[in-house]
Structure 1
């Protein structure tokens, strides 16, 4: 079984890992800066929330038209564009006197570019690491995201005590520029995986339709999108459920559980067993929240959040299946569609959870979201069997030639 030491001995993977960490710091710094400026200018909590977390809505629209670029552009070039766009946008955000409407327009730039190339990084990861190491590599990058989100928002909050939001934008722009140089110097140039011919919009629509229309790959997307999104709807109620420090404990517990799941499944669970754990992990993601229907004390809910979040690790073997059942020429678009759909369903889940919480208590709403997640997982199980690995035949059972 591959180890983290073997993984980090690969120079190109180290480049990708470092970039992932620095990019998350940049995202946290620029998000806090934009949210602070927007709230000062408008006094609107809604606009502030959109400034910090509304960017994925731009990616949703752009990905429906431009996602095929993930396979039609040379990977290193695509990753450089992904670094250059936020560097330029954050640099312009630091211009004094920029109206908040203009800041929203600048916010869209990196999300449009990211939508075009959102699957490229995972194709490069698959090319860089040895066969059978993708799940370990993905788990390492997931750990980087979780850890650096905590560090980034913490450092960003402290930095605002001494720096202005404009200074934070400059820090973010410099971080993005450093990542751009790191990609250019640290990654080998590779040819595009796609054929490079034809209209990008037409190709995007055609491949998206094929992926979502397939009886094999559609259940994979449902499994990776919908149950996760519904549980995120439960997590979106942490603040109304636990006022003050309790909400912080819940978010911290959920992040710790997710990181533990990625670490154990990615590093210590063999490939065959990983695939068999998809069902149990999907149930683990939601079932603990059913206890919220009994309105337990907050200390129990913290444990629930930790245990449930381990179930997010089911996405690792599900991504393995997705690669196995898609053509290599569209792997970038397949993974880009996964990432975009995940963000959309997280937003949908948060909206549904908020609506349910207007009718019942936050605790009962969280339990209701868990029920919905379990129901979707159960209903999708027959479809997932179509993508399950076929058991290898023993020598005596193989057909004779």
Structure 2
């Protein structure tokens, strides 16, 4: 990553270099670390609660409007606040103690979601509360992402990232697959109350399991403003060719996440055909939305378990193309079983994000890590939100099947270009290393 490479203590350098040479950490070793377990358990709790709300929202909006655009727009609203919050609020985790930032965000979200669970809350207030809840996820996610490399080192970080990624996708898979039945049994307000309780439980786990650390930027009276930090973070992230390529790899998910935003209208189309049998639309919707997370769990496990650390970056471009290529089959209007298989395979390809994330962490200084992650996360949310909105608009006119296929084609093209750029950048590095060795 050139001049942007992080300055690490000698011990961390040796462990990271050992991991790069092929020494693998194990899942058992990573799970044995108490602080990682606390971060992991808290993540899993809040994810399950959030997925209940998302499924209920998608099915409810489509039932009322029968509009793919309206469904996609409401789904996209859960992404858009982070576009603003990422660059501006993520820097809080570099200005203040990261555990403290996470605790404050969890407690505030508990209060906000608890207010949403009250039946007397008017609709406009619900919209405001949803916006604030999603906005607070930006500093929380940035703090957790910046804290994880301090808890785990070398290949243990990759394994820990894989576990968190698998937990994220498994939470989505379980929430999407079972969300319709749970919402039907308990109702939307009780589901929101459960979501609020998960934020409180996450805060308690953080207090008991993660030790206090000082703020990365000491309070010496010379702290820069949030705007200054945001501009500096943007220069850091986009000032290096390799970092730019890694960021674009991360943002590629906008193409293969798009189908989730139009899963409800796609399910309605599939339910008309004989291939779906007697399955109702909410069940098909849940299965479609669970397919990619299921594939990502499989891909993350296989990629982190069986691919050596030194070889992961070589497979990144190929897996990125795999994350989009299976979606093209939907142009043939296949039955439900084929669609599910294709979406699962697409999720398997999404495991390339593990390699991109690990390379990004190694290139960013620890004291600026939260701001950098916040900018990337903001673009990530923007790519997904805009992609879902465009997909919903197009699905209104073309139908969901060709829209998903076109998203796959565009994603494969972009992934191929990024793969070539990444290969060139790695080639440049190899040439410099050989020249320095020869000198």
Secondary structure, in 3 states, of the residue corresponding to 1:27? helix
Match of 1:229 among 240, 254, 263: 254
Q: How does 1:2-401 map to 2 (within 5 A)?
A: 2-31=25-54, 54-153=77-176, 157-194=180-217, 197-225=223-251, 227-242=252-267, 243-244=270-271, 245=279, 247-385=285-423, 388=426, 390-391=429-430, 398-399=437-438
Shift in CA distance, 195/117, structure 1 to aligned 2, threshold 3 Å:
farther
Paired residues of 2:179 and 2:286 also in contact (CA < 8 A)? no
Q: Distance in 2 between matches of 1:248 and 1:176?
A: 24
Q: Answer with 98-107 or 10-19: which moved more.
A: 98-107
Q: Distance in 2 between matches of 1:355 and 1:187?
A: 44
**Offset at residue 271 of structure 1 (A):** 0.8
Q: Answer with 47-56 or 368-377: which moved more.
A: 47-56
Shift in CA distance, 170/396, structure 1 to aligned 2, threshold 3 Å:
closer
Secondary structure, in 3 states, of the residue corresponding to 2:367? helix
Shift in CA distance, 185/386, structure 1 to aligned 2, threshold 3 Å:
farther
Unaligned runs of 5+ in 1: none
**Offset at residue 324 of structure 1 (A):** 2.3
Unaligned runs of 5+ in 2: 1-23, 272-278
**Offset at residue 316 of structure 1 (A):** 0.8
Shift in CA distance, 237/258, structure 1 to aligned 2, threshold 3 Å:
same
Q: Distance in 2 between matches of 1:154 and 1:117?
A: 26
Secondary structure, in 3 states, of the residue corresponding to 1:188? coil
TM-score of the two chains, using structure 1 as the length reference: 0.87
Q: Answer with 361-370 or 308-317: which moved more.
A: 361-370
Q: Answer with 278-287 or 93-102: which moved more.
A: 93-102
Per-residue CA deviations over 1:38-89 (Å, capped at 9, x if unaligned) read 999x979777776665232112122232221121110110110221121111
Q: Distance in 2 between matches of 1:294 and 1:396?
A: 51
**Offset at residue 175 of structure 1 (A):** 2.2
**Offset at residue 315 of structure 1 (A):** 0.8
RMSD: 3.2
Q: Answer with 102-111 or 29-38: which moved more.
A: 29-38
Shift in CA distance, 4/350, structure 1 to aligned 2, threshold 3 Å:
same
Q: Distance in 2 between matches of 1:361 and 1:38?
A: 18
Shift in CA distance, 273/65, structure 1 to aligned 2, threshold 3 Å:
same
**Offset at residue 19 of structure 1 (A):** 0.4
